[in-house]
Amino acid sequence: RDEGAGTGAGGRGEGTGSGGSGSGQGAGGGTKPIKIAGEINSARDYPSATRDLRIGDSVVIWLTVGTDGKPDACKVARPSKDAEANAITCRLALERFRFRPATDANGKPVVSTYGWQQRWFYKN
């Protein structure tokens, strides 16, 4: 072992590497929402005039899914270059998507969020 100036790499430490428990009241054990219906067709559902602006791009949205499995709010998390397509994606997801709602540890449906990425590409 060399003594003197160094980078600190090769140091020693002790510990188990395990994290402690959280301080919240939840016990976990619930489920996430599962998309069971609804599709967005990238060729049919968006204006053809701005198609070249969208190709190779995508938009990421977050939906709030109610206890009835219907999304009731949409937020664009990562927009595409086509602002109109971003708005259309939210509108269509709210209209068409249906979910098996998320549940808590007791199996009771709860409000949750669901992320969706819509991509646009040329079909060969």
> What residue spans define the domains of the chain?
34-119
CATH code of the domain occupying 34-119: 3.30.2420
How far is Cα 84 from Cα 58, in angstroms, rounded to an integer? 13
* Coil vs helix vs strand at 86: helix
Tens digits of pLDDT across the chain (124 residues): 445 554 444 545 454 555 555 565 555 689 999 999 999 988 889 998 888 888 889 999 999 999 999 999 999 999 999 999 999 999 999 999 999 999 999 999 999 999 999 998 866 5
Residue type, 122: Y
**Residues in a beta bridge with 114:** 63
Contact 100, 34 (CB under 8 A): yes
How far is Cα 94 from Cα 77, in angstroms, rounded to an integer? 15
pLDDT reported for residue 96: 98
Contact 55, 120 (CB under 8 A): yes
